[in-house]
Every structure is written in structure tokens, then in C-alpha cells.
Amino acid sequence: SQTIHQWPATLVQPVGSPLSLECTVEGTSNPNLYWYRQAAGRGLQLLFYSVGIGQISSEVPQNLSASRPQDRQFILSSKKLLLSDSGFYLCAWSVGRTHGENTIYFGEGSWLTVV
């Protein structure tokens, strides 16, 4: 069966410091990978998605970047964090297809507090 794991689960970072959140998926090949964010009291916002190694699409302009160095690894980064980057970050995967019925499965989430 497929599993998704992201880490760290919780982190507190000072403004201006770098960020790296990692996510790996097991039990599937060539998945679509996603980074979502849930800000306090708000819904889920898609930040990045990837359909293959090195292929990253950004959904909203922001202070963050994503990379996919391996088929089942997805990394969310920032060079200098802002207070507004605080939130709950979720990595997710789906079967690698471009259309049709495609269910997304989420990781456990990472709480980021920028102080």
C-alpha cells in the first residue's frame, strides 16, 4: 500500500531564517506531488504541484519554492522566512495522471511558526 510521510511535524523558526520541509511517498511510481498550506481559520491553498522529477508548477506567488530531486521526494524551501509564512503545510500525492478522477492523499502535516 502507498504511504506518505513528511517532516518535521513542528518547527519554530525566526524571521529571515531558511526553511526545508521534506516529503516522501512509498508504494507508487511517478506520482503527482503537491504542497498545500492551511493558514489559520482558512481553507487549503495549493502552493506547488509536480508531475515529474524537476517539473514544478507554482500556483501562487510567494516567498517559497519547491523541488523534486527524486521521483517520490518533494521538498518545500525558503531562503528567508516571513511572519506570513506561518501555517500548516501539507504534502500530498495522487496517481500520476493529468485528468480524470484523481483522489489526492495527504501527509500528516507540518506546523510552521515564524517568530
Residues that bind other proteins (CB under 8 A): 32, 34, 42-46, 49, 51, 57, 59, 88, 90, 92, 94-95, 97-109, 111
Closest CB to other proteins among residues 75, 92: 92
User: Whole-number minimum distance, CB 27 to other proteins, in Å?
Assistant: 16
User: Whole-number minimum distance, CB 79 to other proteins, in Å?
Assistant: 26
Closest CB to other proteins among residues 53, 95: 95
Cis peptide before 61 (omega within 30 of 0): no
User: Whole-number minimum distance, CB 63 to other proteins, in Å?
Assistant: 21
Closest CB to other proteins among residues 16, 24: 24
User: Whole-number minimum distance, CB 36 to other proteins, in Å?
Assistant: 8
Ordered DSSP codes for the chain: --EEEEE-SEEEE-TT--EEEEEEEES-SS-EEEEEEE-TTS-EEEEEEEEETTEEEESS--S-EEEEEETTEEEEEESS--GGG-EEEEEEEE-S-SSSS---EE---EEEEE-
Closest CB to other proteins among residues 41, 69: 41
Distance CA 65, CA 12 (A): 19
